[in-house]
Amino acid sequence: GKENNNALELSGGECQRVAMARAIANKPELIIADEPTGNLDSKTGKNIVDLLKKLNDGGLTIIMVTHDKELAKTASKIITMKDGRIERGNR
């Protein structure tokens, strides 16, 4: 396995999965995900989104920040910000 690898030896996707594992290890009620698919290839990004969706379906609240409009469409509620101010909320 990679349990003995230095963080610099892990890929972006591996680092993202480690961060996700750390985030859910203590069974939190809320996860704040800042650009969870940023810098990931599309396959790894989809895996991360699928995991977030599964966690959310299981009752975990997810607050996600993204510039990816397609990713935002997967959310149950979207709040749009512009210049640091809430512009609108929908759904």
Domains and CATH numbers, the chain: 7-90 (3.40.50.300)
pTM confidence score: 0.75
pLDDT of residue 65: 95
Per-residue confidence band for 60, with pLDDT thresholds at 50, 70 and 90: very high
Residue 8 has pLDDT above 90, yes or no: no
Cβ contact 57:86 at 8 Å: no
- Report the pLDDT value the prediction gives residue 50, as an integer from 0 to 100: 92
Q: Compute the average pLDDT of residues 5-26.
A: 78
* 64 touches 33 (CB < 8 A): yes
Q: What is the DSSP letter of 11?
A: -
Residue 91 has pLDDT above 70, yes or no: no
